[in-house]
Amino acid sequence: MKVAFLLLMCVMMIPELVGQSKYVPSFKTDTMSVPETNKVLEGRYVETVLRDQSEVRFFETDDHRYFVRFIVTRNFYFDKVAMLEIQSGSKSSHEKDTKQYKVSKTAGMFFVEVYKNYFTTYKESGITAIVFGDVVTDFSKQDVSQVKKMATFFHESITKKN
């Protein structure tokens, strides 16, 4: 009886465990507006939702410019302008005069243009934290892993074309 019960529990738990680890990146074609200028960019993006419901999006425009957009769900400083540091393992990129835009009462947005070679770093180390002003927002190991998968997919796509 105990063996049957354990077998039943295992069969019921396997789909739950497998379902949590699957993240398959794919491109979506869309437009995105630049907050400072309200200019609309056309292109494609890949995006992942993190454990705290924050989002990371990598966007490639039709004229091969690259952007990273973060929708954050904590550490709000709406309309504040400061240095944004994107940490990737032991490396960092710094974006001066970055503004955190208010998306909703519970979400803020950072939007920065980055160089193509940054995605090489992101695919190797993921994004481990963002620092805005003096406030650090760390990413969990699971989130870093998702960003690495997404960055690998994005990097392979943009390097194949050129």
For 106-146, the pLDDT digits (tens) are 999 999 999 999 999 999 999 999 999 889 999 999 999 99
pLDDT value of position 45: 96
Q: What's phi and psi for 48, nearest 5 deg?
A: -135, 150
Does position 85 have pLDDT exceeding 80, yes or no? yes
Domain presence at residue 2:
no
Q: Report yes or no on 103 lying in a domain.
A: yes
Whether the CB-CB separation of 54 and 73 falls below 8 Å is answered with yes
Please give the average per-residue pLDDT across 86-98, as a whole number: 95
Q: At 37, is the secondary structure helix, strand, or coil?
A: coil
Mean pLDDT of 8-23: 52
Residue 118 lies in a domain: yes
Q: What is the pTM of this model?
A: 0.82
pLDDT tens for residues 50-71? 999 999 999 999 999 999 999 9
Q: Is 148 a member of any domain?
A: yes
* Residue 1 confidence class, pLDDT cut points 50, 70, 90: low
Q: Where is pLDDT greater, at 110 or 38?
A: 110
Q: E strands along the chain, which residues?
A: 28-33, 40-49, 55-61, 66-72, 81-88, 91-99, 101-104, 107-114, 129-132, 135-138
Residue 87: inside a domain: yes
Q: Residue 32 and residue 18: Cα distance in Å, rounded?
A: 33
Residue 15 in this model has a pLDDT that exceeds 70:
no
Of residues 93, 97, 98, 85, the one with CA closest to residue 119: 93
How far is CA 146 from each of CA 22, 58, 155, 162, rounded to the nearest angstrom?
9, 13, 14, 25
**143-158 mean pLDDT:** 95
Q: Which two tokens stand for residue 127?
A: 């994004």
The number of domains in the chain is 1
**Residue 6: band (very low, low, confident or very high) from pLDDT cuts 50, 70, 90:** very low
In this predicted structure, what is the pLDDT of residue 24? 78
Residue 16 domain flag: no
Task: Judge whether 4 lies within some domain.
Answer: no
Q: What is the mean pLDDT of residues 11-38?
A: 71
DSSP state of 63: T
Residue 111 sits in which domain range? Answer: 30-161
Any idea what the CATH number is for the domain that residue 142 is in?
A: 2.60.40
* DSSP 3-state of 126: coil
Residue 10 lies in a domain: no
Mean pLDDT value across the chain? 87
